[in-house]
Chain A
Amino acid sequence: MEIYAQAIVNGILIGSIYGFTAFGLTLIFGIMRVVNFAHASLLMMSMFLAYGVTRTGVNPYLAILVEIPVLFIAGYILQRSLIEHVIKREPGVREPMSVLLLTAGLLVLIENLALVLFGPDYKMARTAYFGATFKLSGVIIKTAWFYGLIATLGCYFLVNAFLKWTRMGQAIRATGQDRDAAQLMGIDHYHIFGVAFGIGMALLGVCGAILVPFYYVHPAVGWVFGINSFIIVILGGLGSIPGAFWGGIIIGLIESVGAQFMNATWTIVVVYGVFLSILFIRPAGLFGLRQEW
Chain B
Amino acid sequence: MNGLGRTWRWIASPKQYIGLFLVLLLLAFPLVVTSPFYIQIMIMVLFFAYLSSCWNIISGYAGQLSIGHAAFLMVGAYTSSLLFSNLGLSPWIGMLIGGLLAVLLGLLIGYPTFRLRGAYFAIATIVWAEGLRKIVENTEFIGGLKIGGAEGLTIPLIHHSLANYQFVNKTYYYYIMLGLMLLIIYLTYRIDRSKLGYYLSAVREDEDAARALGVNVRKYKLMAMAISAFFTALAGTFYAQLLLYIEPVDIGGIALSIEMLLIGVIGGRGTIIGPIVGAFLLVPCKELVRTYIGTTYVGAHLVLYGAIMVMVILFFPQGLERPFRRCYLGLARWLGQAERAEGEGR
Contact = CB atoms under 8 A, between A and B. Distances in A.
Q: Within the complex, are A and B direct neighbours (CB within 8 Å)?
A: yes
Interface of A: 35, 82, 85-86, 89, 95, 97-98, 100-102, 104-113, 115-116, 119-120, 219, 223, 227, 230-231, 234, 263, 265-266, 268-269, 272-273, 275-276, 279-280, 283, 293
B127 A112 contact: no
B119 A227 contact: no
B265 interface: yes
B172 to A, nearest CB: 33
A227 B254 CA distance: 11
Interface in B295-322: 297-300, 302-303, 305-310, 312-314, 317
Nearest to B293: A116
Given A100-B118, A283-B120, A109 B310 contact: yes
B119 A113 contact: no
Contact of A234 (B120, B303, B310): B120
A221 to B, nearest CB: 14
Given A98-B317, A112-B300, A116-B297, A105 B306 contact: yes
Interface of B: 63, 65, 67, 112-113, 115-120, 122-124, 126-128, 130-131, 134-135, 137-138, 254, 258, 261-262, 265, 297-300, 302-303, 305-310, 312-314, 317
A100 B120 CA distance: 11
Nearest to A279: B124
Contacts of B117: 95, 293
Contacts of B308: 105
Which of the listed residues A100, A101, A107, A266 has the most CB atoms from chain B within 10 Å of its own CB?
A: A101
Given A98-B317, A102-B314, A120-B298, A108 B130 contact: no
**Prevailing SS type, chain A contact patch:** helix
18 contacts: A35-B122, A97-B119, A98-B313, A100-B65, A101-B309, A101-B313, A105-B307, A105-B310, A105-B312, A108-B258, A109-B305, A112-B303, A112-B306, A116-B297, A230-B123, A272-B128, A276-B112, A283-B116
B115 A293 contact: yes
Contacts of B130: 227, 272
B214 to A, nearest CB: 22
Nearest to A262: B138
B127 A227 contact: yes
A266 B131 CA distance: 9
A97 B118 contact: yes
B176 to A, nearest CB: 29
Nearest to A110: B306
Contact of A86 (B65, B297, B298, B314): B314
Contact of B313 (A86, A227, A283, A293): A86
A223 B259 CA distance: 16
B183 to A, nearest CB: 27
Interface centre among A105, A219, A266 (most CB of B within 10 A): A105
Contacts of A98: 313, 317
B138 A106 contact: no
B303 A109 contact: yes
A118 B314 CA distance: 28
Given A112-B299, A234-B123, A279-B124, 14 more contacts: A97-B118, A100-B65, A101-B313, A102-B314, A104-B67, A105-B306, A112-B306, A116-B299, A227-B130, A268-B131, A276-B127, A279-B120, A280-B112, A283-B115
Nearest to B126: A227
Nearest to B265: A101
